[in-house]
Amino acid sequence: MIDIGEAQRRVLEDIPVLGQERIHILDALGRVLARDVKAIRDVPSRDNSAMDGYACRYEDVVGAEPSRPVDLRLIGESRAGALFGGVVGAGEAVSVMTGGVIPDGADAVIKVEDTFRDGNRVRCIRGVQKGTYIRTQGEDVRAGGVVLKEGCAIGPPEIGMIATLGHGYVHVYQRPVVGILSTGDELVDLDEPFSDGKVVCSNTYSLAAQVMEAGAIPLSLGIASDSEEDQRDRLADGLRADVIVTSGGVSVGKYDLVKATLADVGMRVKFWKVAMKPGKPLVFGTIGTKPVFGLPGNPTSAMISFEQFVRPALLKMMGHRALFRKVIEARLAKDVPAEPGRLHLVRCKLIEENGRVWALSTGTQSSGALRSMVLADGLMILPPVRDVFPKGSQVRVQLLHTSRPLVHESPFWSDELFREEPDLARMA
Ligand code: AMP
Ligand code: MG
């Protein structure tokens, strides 16, 4: 049995980064740039106005005040998109709208609020400096420079920047297809009749959702019975995927055959069993260069093992550099029992109070209890050294959802879980 850090290292050292593809920028959200993006022109391409007002020569109005106004003569207009062709001379002004190109001869903009207009006369009651309210050519981006580097994760701002630079397509790393196989004689799929003693195969769906959330493409290989033949056939079918993920059948029960059938289809085992709870009976190996993850069948064990091993691997394949979820420090709101010898990942809620974050177990930590995953904001990382982690102690928590806020106002939680709880502030 190896520890979780060592297991992650062994997984990641075997994971290849996929090839590149060229896609439309609107398909690039969440993808990773496979090539630098360079500017083919300056942005903005010309000096332009940051305000609605008048372009002028700054020496003309530098000393203007309400008691000493300066009058300029209006000679034209420069709108965003429609240039003024002439030159601004001494004592002259051209009306400019925000984004309008600054005409030749002008070197400042006086904003409309600092002027009074009467026909062709523009009375200025404030001074300006050289360059006031001018966005200079190339101030955002210089032609020829690298604006976004290979390895950059593409979000909405990056898409806007790439569009600004005039590129409609970008080179990104490919996304892996992940074959997902559930195993177990007790499993029925959603469209099959349910009877007592059966279990709805939820792993195919939770794992597919995790694959999609990571940005990869799930491919269901269905449900295999606990028979070597059925498992072999479906795994053989799964070889068209880039990654294979199975769930169930990797423990030491009589019908846990997945390790053996994976070996039959050519998997070289890199490790089996990780010193963690939940998720101990995990097997990892490769078929050729294809990574194969045999996850335990318990729904939460499967999801938590996916988080620790499969997600970082998929992110690496897609060119990401940040492979792990954010970890924060929190204090325990209650004692948390553990067993020495295995690292515990305890599903927890996070509650922020007076600038401090408290972690509270979601209740039952049974590996089958999916509800505890639904309620969880994160996983407490409890090192394998103690049998109880006392209330008030500092722990690290891996966040499971980057999008969920830390402050929860659900009355369910504050009522039910804090009913017999002492004042949190006094525990600090
Ligand atoms: P196993 O790892 O095959 O021993 O399965 C452990 C537990 O997880 C058993 O209670 C199974 O019924 C359950 N289980 C296995 N696979 C799935 C699945 N695909 N969906 C839901 N539960 C499952
Ligand atoms: Mg089973």
Whether 98 lines ligand 1, by a CB cut-off of 6 Å, is no
Question: 318 and 215 in contact (C-beta within 8 Å)?
Answer: yes
Can you read off the two tokens belonging to residue 376? 């969880």
Question: How do residues 204-242 score in pLDDT, each as one tens digit?
Answer: 999 999 999 999 999 999 999 999 999 999 999 999 999
Can you read off the two tokens belonging to residue 198? 């059966």
Q: Give the least confident one: 32-36, 335-339, 342-346, 408-412.
A: 408-412
Q: Would the pLDDT of 128 be above 70?
A: yes
Q: Would the pLDDT of 409 be above 50?
A: no
Q: Which atom of ligand 1 is nearest to the CA of 301?
A: 8
3-class secondary-structure state, position 371: helix
| Superfamily grouping for domain 48-135 | Molybdopterin biosynthesis moea protein, domain 3. (2.170.190.11)
Whether 203 lines ligand 1, by a CB cut-off of 6 Å, is yes
Q: How confident is the model at residue 402 (pLDDT cuts 50, 70, 90)?
A: low
Whether 220 lines ligand 1, by a CB cut-off of 6 Å, is no
Pocket test for ligand 1, best of 204, 247, 373 (most atoms within 8 A of CB): 247
Q: Which ligand lies nearest to the CA atom of residue 199 in the structure?
A: 1
Q: Would the pLDDT of 426 be above 60?
A: no
| φ, ψ for residue 303, nearest 5 deg | -65, -40
Average pLDDT along the chain: 91
Q: Which ligand lies nearest to the CA atom of residue 294 in the structure?
A: 1
Whole-number Å distance between alpha carbons of 71 and 68:
10
Q: How much is the pLDDT for 404?
A: 58
Question: How do residues 68-90 score in pLDDT, each as one tens digit?
Answer: 999 999 999 998 788 899 999 99
CB-CB neighbours of 335 under 10 Å: 12
The three-point CA angle 324-326-327 to 5° equals: 110
Whole-number Å distance between alpha carbons of 328 and 330:
7
- Distance (angstroms) between ligand 2 centre and the Cα of 92 equals 85
| Superfamily grouping for domain 21-38+148-173 | Molybdopterin biosynthesis moea protein, domain 2 (3.90.105.10)
Whole-number Å distance between alpha carbons of 56 and 78:
12
State the fold for domain 4-17+175-317. Answer: Molybdenum Cofactor Biosythetic Enzyme; Chain A (3.40.980)
The three-point CA angle 271-275-278 to 5° equals: 105
CB-CB neighbours of 215 under 10 Å: 19
For the chain, give the number of residues. Answer: 428
Can you read off the two tokens belonging to residue 360? 């509270």
Whether 297 lines ligand 1, by a CB cut-off of 6 Å, is yes
Q: Would the pLDDT of 422 be above 50?
A: no
Q: Which atom of ligand 1 is nearest to the CA of 253?
A: 4
- Distance (angstroms) between ligand 1 centre and the Cα of 72 equals 82
pTM of the predicted model as reported, rounded to 2 decimal places: 0.86
Q: How confident is the model at residue 121 (pLDDT cuts 50, 70, 90)?
A: very high
Question: How do residues 349-392 score in pLDDT, each as one tens digit?
Answer: 999 888 899 999 998 888 888 999 999 999 999 988 888 999 99
Whether 319 lines ligand 1, by a CB cut-off of 6 Å, is no
Q: How confident is the model at residue 403 (pLDDT cuts 50, 70, 90)?
A: low
**Which CATH code for domain 326-426?**
2.40.340.10
Q: Residue range 147-175: average pLDDT?
A: 96
Whole-number Å distance between alpha carbons of 179 and 192:
21
- Candidates 299, 406, 393; CA nearest to 351 is 406
Q: Would the pLDDT of 172 be above 60?
A: yes
Residue having the nearest C-alpha atom to atom 10 of ligand 1: 298
- Distance (angstroms) between ligand 2 centre and the Cα of 187 equals 9
- Distance (angstroms) between ligand 1 centre and the Cα of 327 equals 29
Whether 298 lines ligand 1, by a CB cut-off of 6 Å, is yes
Residue percentage of the chain with pLDDT more than 90: 83
Q: Would the pLDDT of 16 be above 60?
A: yes
- Distance (angstroms) between ligand 1 centre and the Cα of 83 equals 69
Q: Which ligand lies nearest to the CA atom of residue 184 in the structure?
A: 2
Q: How much is the pLDDT for 82?
A: 86
Q: How much is the pLDDT for 291?
A: 98
Q: Domains of the chain: which residue ranges? A: 4-17+175-317, 21-38+148-173, 48-135, 326-426
Whether 247 lines ligand 1, by a CB cut-off of 6 Å, is yes
Q: Give the least confident one: 310-324, 354-368, 407-421.
A: 407-421
Can you read off the two tokens belonging to residue 377? 């904001």
- Distance (angstroms) between ligand 2 centre and the Cα of 376 equals 25
Whether 186 lines ligand 1, by a CB cut-off of 6 Å, is yes
Residue having the nearest C-alpha atom to atom 7 of ligand 1: 298
